[in-house]
């Protein structure tokens, strides 16, 4: 086997573990709540803290890889992730668990920021889409396996097992990565923009916290307004700092490259649409139809399974035909999938749900690999780390936007649907029907949002397969 494919196995293992740990924990939250004797708001921070840290650090770690080498940051990230997993499994209290989840999020951010960069650095333009598609299989497996594996480990052993299982796997993965990842020379005369990294990290933390808790705290509450103001002020300071820096954390000239900026906009839209569905469907399945959490988790697996099947094929096709049409068609399938979900009856049969979720999975699978390949292939080679971190950052932003937008729509529309139903139906039946109606409204809005993604995918411009757009070469990028 050629060395580049061995490199891909290491990157895919890191993607699998980071994604799996983001999805495996939810199913174990009730057990953690009972074990520690804490309320729901507190136990939710086991998930929220991890996601906030990952979302805040992807951008800085992308640049750090360019300075210190991708391999070094990747190995350190894997070590931090594995050690923190053991500490999470041994946590004596909820507070220490949340603290170690923060540390685990730091390691996961390093893995997620470096993975696509290593792939793009290792594979030729004509193979990049295929490699990213195969790596996408690991992401899809992590998403689909998480709830089921978490439920099994929690039921058979204890919730601590979902963290402790990372120890032997992580140790083997670190040894494998150290062996197969190629050695690199650190960036010559490169320095890390600490001020820019701090400003971007704190600004993104404020934004993601506002989006995550806006519905619970109230969108007009002083806390949320303060977080939004902090994001605007710190974001403005970040832009000013980057314009003045000799070696900025992210060169703003990259955003003049149309495939780069259009691809980032597309990924925000795509993940906002996807997470609208994956966030709201469990409520529809559990509260609307009475399925158990494990049953609901299994019913959602058609999306990641379809993604795992389609992403490699889409990646190979993008290497031959270019990413523009495939990414746009993928967004079109997502629109169809979301629109079809608006017509899902409350008394649906399983085939009614499955074919709709398959449509959604086809769309995401068709979109993901070509779009990632286009973004990473559009920038100068010395800026692949920055592009990789930014791409991962936009995925997290899209997730947060999707969850915040869908939660706000359901909260706003639920009373309207309850009022329309009046007092003719039993309270439980009326609430289920109203909830389904409000969720359908959110799906409709998400479909409209994904239509924007079709446009941004189309306007990225076309390029011959295997050739980076000429703007990437001609745009002046500061070294």
Same domain, 76 and 115: yes
* DSSP structure class, residue 465: T
Assigned domain for 356 exists: yes
Looking at the domain assignment, is residue 187 inside a domain? no
Helix (H, G, I), strand (E, B) or coil at 264: helix
- 216 with 159, same domain? no
- The pLDDT score that the predictor gives to residue 468 is 43
Q: What are phi and psi of 469, to 5 degrees?
A: -55, 145
DSSP state string for 191-206: ---HHHHHHHHHHHHH
Indicate whether 388 belongs to any domain.
yes
Q: What is the CA radius of gyration of the chain?
A: 22
Nearest to 31 by CA among 167, 163, 164, 151: 151
Q: What is the pLDDT of residue 40?
A: 67
The last residue of one of the domains, among 209, 229, 248, is 248
* Secondary structure class of 246 (helix, strand, coil): coil
- What pLDDT score does 432 carry? 85
**Inter-CA distances, 171 with 5, 14, 174, 213, 398, Å:** 20, 12, 5, 35, 32
- In the listed set 248, 269, 285, which residue is the last one of a domain according to the structure? 248
Q: What are phi and psi of 146, to 5 degrees?
A: -55, -60
> Do 197 and 127 share a structural domain?
no
- In this structure, what CATH number is given to the domain that contains residue 377? 1.20.1250.20
Q: 383 with 301, same domain?
A: yes
Same domain, 298 and 446: yes
- Evaluate whether residue 64 is within a structural domain: yes
Residues whose CB falls within 8 Å of the CB of residue 258, separated by 6 or more in sequence, listed in order: 459, 460, 461, 469, 471
Q: What span, in angstroms and rounded, lies between the C-alpha atoms of 117 and 122? A: 8
Asked if the structure places residue 434 within a domain, the reply is yes
Q: In this structure, how many other beta carbons lie within 10 angstroms of the beta carbon of residue 213?
A: 19
Distance of CA 290 to the CA centre of its chain: 28
Q: For residue 417, give its domain range.
A: 254-479
Q: Are residues 302 and 371 in the same domain?
A: yes
Residue 86 lies in a domain: yes
Residues 227, 339, single domain; the answer is no
Query: Is 263 found in the same domain as 241?
Result: no
Q: In the chain, how many domains are there?
A: 3
In contact, 101 and 86? CB cutoff 8 Å? no
Q: Is residue 188 in a domain?
A: no
- Mention every residue, 6+ apart, whose C-beta is less than 8 A from residue 185: 69
Other beta carbons within 10 Å of 206: 22
The token pair that represents 414 in the structure block:
């639920």
One DSSP character per residue, 81-122 reads: HHHHHHHHHT-SSHHHHHHHHHHHHHHHHHHHHHHHHHHHHH
Tokens representing residue 104 in the block = 């685990």
165 and 222 housed in the same domain: no
Whether 457 and 368 share a structural domain? yes
pTM above 0.95, yes or no: no
The pLDDT tens digits along the chain (479 residues) read: 578 889 999 998 888 888 787 778 877 887 888 899 987 668 878 888 888 898 889 889 988 988 888 999 999 999 999 999 999 999 999 999 999 999 999 999 999 889 888 988 888 878 888 888 888 788 778 777 777 788 788 878 888 999 998 899 899 999 999 999 988 777 667 788 889 889 999 998 998 888 878 877 888 899 999 999 999 999 999 999 988 888 888 888 888 899 999 999 999 999 899 888 888 888 888 778 888 767 777 888 898 889 888 988 998 898 888 888 899 999 999 999 999 999 998 888 889 999 999 999 999 999 988 998 888 888 888 888 888 888 888 888 888 888 888 888 888 888 898 888 775 556 778 888 888 999 999 999 999 999 999 999 888 765 444 444 433 333 334 43
pLDDT at residue 141 in the model: 80
Q: Tell me how far apart the terminal alpha carbons of the chain are, to the nearest angstrom.
A: 36
Identify the domain boundary among 233, 248, 263: 248
Q: In this structure, what token pair is assigned to residue 473?
A: 């070469």
Closest CA to 332 of 374, 360, 310, 312: 360
Does one domain contain both 372 and 409? yes
Q: 143-169 pLDDT, tens per residue?
A: 777 777 887 888 788 889 999 988 998
* Same domain, residue pair 244 and 270: no
């Amino acid at each position: 086997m050629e060395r580049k494919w061995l490199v891909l196995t290491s990157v895919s293992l890191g993607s699998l573990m980071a994604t799996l740990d983001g999805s495996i924990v939810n199913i174990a939250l009730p057990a953690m709540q009972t074990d520690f004797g804490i309320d729901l708001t507190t136990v939710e921070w086991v998930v929220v803290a991890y996601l906030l840290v990952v979302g805040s650090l992807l951008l800085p770690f992308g640049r750090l890889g360019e300075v210190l080498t991708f391999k070094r940051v990747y190995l350190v990230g894997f070590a931090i992730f594995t050690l923190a997993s053991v500490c999470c499994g041994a946590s004596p209290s909820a507070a220490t668990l949340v603290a170690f989840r923060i540390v685990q999020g730091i390691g996961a951010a390093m893995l997620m920021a470096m993975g696509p960069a290593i792939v793009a650095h290792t594979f030729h333009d004509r193979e990049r889409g295929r490699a990213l598609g195969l790596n996408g299989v690991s992401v899809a497996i992590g998403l689909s396996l998480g709830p089921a594996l978490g439920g099994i480990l929690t039921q058979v052993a204890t919730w601590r097992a979902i963290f402790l299982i990372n120890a032997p796997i992580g140790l083997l993965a670190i040894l494998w990565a150290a062996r197969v990842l190629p050695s690199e020379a650190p960036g010559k005369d490169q320095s890390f923009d600490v001020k820019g990294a701090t400003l971007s990290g704190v600004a993104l933390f404020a934004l993601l916290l506002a989006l995550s808790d806006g519905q619970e705290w109230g969108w007009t509450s002083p806390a949320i307004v303060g977080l939004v103001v902090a994001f605007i002020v710190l974001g403005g300071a970040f832009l000013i700092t980057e314009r003045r820096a000799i070696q900025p954390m992210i060169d703003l000239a990259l955003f003049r490259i149309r495939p780069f900026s259009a691809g980032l906009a597309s990924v925000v839209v795509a993940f906002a649409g996807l997470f609208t569905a994956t966030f709201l469907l469990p409520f529809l399945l559990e509260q609307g139809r009475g399925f158990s959490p494990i049953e609901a988790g299994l019913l959602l697996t058609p999306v990641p399974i379809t993604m795992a099947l389609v992403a490699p094929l889409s990646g190979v096709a993008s290497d031959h035909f270019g990413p523009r049409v495939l990414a746009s068609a993928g967004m079109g399938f997502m629109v169809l999938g979301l629109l079809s979900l608006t017509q899902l009856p409350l008394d649906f049969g399983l085939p009614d749900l499955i074919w709709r979720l398959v449509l959604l999975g086809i769309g995401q699978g068709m979109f993901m690999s070509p779009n990632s390949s286009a973004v990473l292939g559009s920038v100068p080679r010395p800026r692949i780390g920055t592009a990789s971190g930014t791409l991962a950052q936009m995925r997290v932003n899209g997730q947060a936007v999707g969850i915040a937008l869908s939660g706000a729509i359901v909260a706003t529309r639920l009373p309207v649907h309850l009022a329309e139903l009046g007092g003719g139906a039993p309270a439980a039946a009326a609430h289920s029907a109203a909830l389904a109606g409000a969720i359908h409204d959110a799906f409709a809005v998400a479909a409209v949002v994904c239509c924007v993604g079709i446009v941004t995918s189309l306007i990225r411009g076309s390029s011959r397969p295997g050739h980076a757009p000429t703007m990437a070469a001609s745009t002046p990028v500061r070294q």
